[in-house]
Structure 1
Amino acid sequence: MTRRRFLAAVGVASASGLTSFAHETDRPLSLTVAVRSPWMANQVALTSDNVLFLGLPRYAHDKPTPSLARRQPDGSLVPFPGNSWNDWKPGDDGREAFVYLNSVHIFADDTVWCVDQGSLSANVFGEEYATPRPGAQKVVQLDPRSGAVLRILRFDETILPPGAQMNDLRFHGSRMYITDSGLGGILVHDLATGKTLRRLSGDTVVKASPTQVPAILAHIKGGQTFHPPNSDLIEITADGKWLYWASPTGPLYRVETRYLNDEALANHELAEHVERVYQNNFSGGCSMDSKGNVYFSETITQHITVLAPSGKTAVLASDPTLVRPDGSFLSRDRRLYIPIKQPVAPGPSEDGKAAAEAPFVTYSIALPERFAGIALGGPVTGR
């Protein structure tokens, strides 16, 4: 089962209103509505000068949506880029258009990187759309100003065998690391050489753990028919030494990139260097800061939980409207942005009519220097 279908299944009804918390460094922090959207967003990313982009999944037949939107200077959201990339419809081949964006991220070069899974939910759109057409599954790099396509990466069946599904990506230097949440695995692509490796394919450490499944399935109507996705969440430390990943169910693993990048090391030898770090609560997404803290967007608890390198954890934010929080992003000015995949009622200071037309919110949290005894850092930009 794909991540998007599983996350949709575990969603619970949203409570209305926004709870305010005191700005104290040992209590949950306040949420600010950064942007409202008429379309459900599962990813958010910002350039160094705070131009905001939303990744927008196709989640229903009767709710047309672009795949990528950019916030304009007047605060409005427009499909980006403004051409056929957002015009895909069932039946099109999807080579030169977005089919289903599952990741949108911005790194040191300020360009927009998108992971297009190239397929849709069989439960919603039918089995014929659950398998990507040739070339539809891809990584696309865009200029954030003009929308020009700078690069498209496609991989053959040695890298993406049938059933593989690219999920999210991170960079360090010229190397790109991508999770495969379909079969389970890590892709390593070197932009400088064009060489790509498929690592840990189908190994236990890239598979979803059954540890949390009973609690998760308790939230799903007819949940016994659902199966959690495999390696999904991905982060890399600021120095590029450690790559972290997890299924939404956990656990969180890590490995030194020197082993991951060593093609002379067989997968079973590589697996011996993988470390189990933490049993996270079921999470739709995460972020890492420059000090190595991981911020989990927890689905069932409705918390944003920070995990320090020491192993200490703290609830950074907690609110009844944090329903199905997903792929978060840490901006250059140290704000954590979290898209919410459930409609959120307007707060006291918001225009109710406008909010009804744009029911999906992305929150932001201003990060203090320290929280609950944990020193917090800035963004990891891949440089």
Structure 2
Amino acid sequence: MTYSRRTFLKVLAVLCAGRIPFTHAVTLKPVLQVAVQSPWMANQVAITRSGRLFLGLPRYSAEYATPSLARQRADGSLQPFPGNRWNTWQPGDDGSEAFVYLNSVHVFTDESVWCVDQGSLSAGIFGEQFARPGPGAQKIVQLDAGSGEIIRILRFDETILPPGAQMNDLRFHGSRIYISDSGLGGIIIHDLKNGLTLRRLSGMPVVKASDKAPPAMLAHVKGGKTFHPPNSDMIEITADGTWLYWAAPTGPLYRVQTEYLWNEKLSDTALAGHVELVYDNNFSGGCAMDSEGNIYFSETETHNITLWSPHGKSAVLVSDPRLVRPDGSFISPDRKLWIPVKQPVVSTSDTGKAKRVFNIYSIDLPNNYEGIPLGSAVSGS
């Protein structure tokens, strides 16, 4: 088929005006880059506006010693932070003024570092005697990002943390903190200004893990033990503070308007009536949210980072076999998504010895991906 010059120019003008879509446009996937290498397993990463990088280092193994929190030096190396008794705890020590098991490390608009210490260790690795938090060991700790000074420690009584409760992660909006309980299942809310603390939706179906678990997780269950995935684990809040989202690793993703959470006149049953099920995520170790309300899931079995939009669309942002057990990701002020993985990379050192390192990856977020506008970091202000 041939076209006259006049017809060709008419079609070209319509295309340039955007009236006919380019059906063969290609969306380029972001490139996964090794950003940091750690000698210790990291499951959390957080970065201040000034570029200070922190890693959360959980005690997953009795074989390999680890501090709990590390900060990156100017030369790129990592050092325990704040570098005193907080990072030298050993099983059997008093855990009230030391890090026992950090499960979350985050930085918000105040530029301080917030840590969730579950205060207990895995019974299967360290023994039943260390599987229950000692007095004051389960806590939230706020540190100065520069000096390492302890600014604040939050502890809650058994009305907020009954036996079996396990604080997992936290997010901020203004003076209000939102904390997930992955043990019994529940949402804890605390106002720093007036001290009000509430436990909501405790043990209800909307905060419980579903019964699905990936075969890769079940394959590690030995001796006839039953795999019990954590309950409400991942938690995010929109930039305007209107919606709180949460999910167990198994999914699904739920949300509720925060005005209902803080309404003490609403019973948990009434509150559950306002909860919405919005997405059935794949098994994920962690997530992050941007200022457009998009959630980035770190999928455990697929090696994917999957993007979910509040408008209902989802897309695989990056897929890479190096993403083995990706965990708590973080969006930095320069619009990079940082992703720690819990699988070591083994290489040979200059001396010929095997060297284990854990990679923290990053990707630059495009402004738009497969028709989904992508935002910037949520600061919690």
Both proteins in one fold, TM over 0.5: yes
Match of 1:143?
144
Q: Shift of the alpha carbon at 1:30?
A: 1.1
Tell me by how many angstroms 1:166 deviates.
0.1
Query: 2 CA distance for matches of 1:200 and 1:278?
Result: 19
**What whole-Å deviation, never above 9, does each CA across 1:196-243 have from its counterpart, x for those lacking one?**
000000000000011x23646554343761111100000000000000
What does 1:121-270 correspond to in 2, within 5 Å? 121-210=122-211, 212-213=212-213, 215=215, 217-222=217-222, 225-270=226-271
1:39 matches 2:40: yes
Distance 1:353 1:31, change over 3 A: farther
Aligned length: 356
Aligned mates of 1:152, 1:309 — CA distance in 2: 34
Q: Render the CA deviation track for 1:111-148: whole Å, top value 9, x for unaligned.
A: 00000000000000000000000100000000000000
Q: In the alignment, does 2:371 pair up with 1:382?
A: no
Secondary structure in 2 aligned to 1:244? strand
If asked which structure has higher relative contact order (CA below 8 Å, sep 6+), I would say 1
Using the alignment, how far apart are the partners of 2:109 and 2:367 within structure 1?
22
**Unmatched 5+ residue regions in structure 2?**
1-24
2:114 aligned with 1:116 = no
In structure 1, list runs of 5 or more residues that go unmatched: 1-23
Which of these two proteins has the greater Rg computed from alpha carbons? 2
Check conservation: 2:214, 2:283, Cα contact below 8 A. Answer: no
Overall identity of the aligned pairs, in %: 66
8 A contact 1:25–1:370 mirrored in 2: no
Pair 183,221 (structure 1): closer, same or farther in 2 beyond 3 Å: closer
Q: In 2, Cα distance between the equivalents of 1:42 and 1:174? A: 26
The one-letter code of the counterpart of 2:148 is: G
Distance in 1 separating the partners of 2:170 and 2:241? 14
Q: CA offset at residue 372 of structure 1?
A: 1.2
Residue of structure 2 equivalent to 1:371: 369
Paired residues of 1:25 and 1:368 also in contact (CA < 8 A): no
Contact conserved, 1:217 with 1:224, CA < 8 A, in 2?
A: no
Partner of 1:342 in structure 2? 343
| TM superposition shift of 1:96 | 0.3
Paired amino acid for 1:316: L
Q: Deviations over 1:267-298 (max 9, x none)?
A: 00100000001000000000000001000000
- Corresponding residue number in structure 2 for 1:80: 81
Q: How far off its partner does 1:109 sit?
A: 0.5
Give distance in 2, aligned partners of 1:25 and 1:194. Answer: 51
CA distance in 2, matches of 1:47, 1:268: 39
Letter in 2 for 1:376: L
Distance 1:326 1:355 in 2: 28
- Distance in 1, Cα, partners of 2:172 & 2:352: 37
Equivalent residue for 2:357? 359
Q: Report the CA distance between 1:50 and its aligned residue.
A: 1.3
* CA offset digits 1:339-360 (Å, max 9, x no partner): 01001356xxx98889954510
Name the CA distance, whole Å, in 2 between partners of 1:329 and 1:308.
17
Q: Root-mean-square deviation (CA), in Å?
A: 1.9
Residues 277-333 of structure 1 show CA distances to partners (whole Å, capped at 9, x for unaligned) of 100000000000000100000000010000011111111111111000000000000
Could you tell me whether the CA contact under 8 Å between 1:336 and 1:367 is conserved in 2?
A: yes
Quick one: distance in 1 between partners of 2:354 and 2:57?
18
Task: Give distance in 2, aligned partners of 1:281 and 1:355.
Answer: 38
Aligned to 2:67: 66
Alignment correspondent of 2:304: 303
User: Which residue identity lines up with residue 133 of structure 1 in the other structure?
Assistant: G
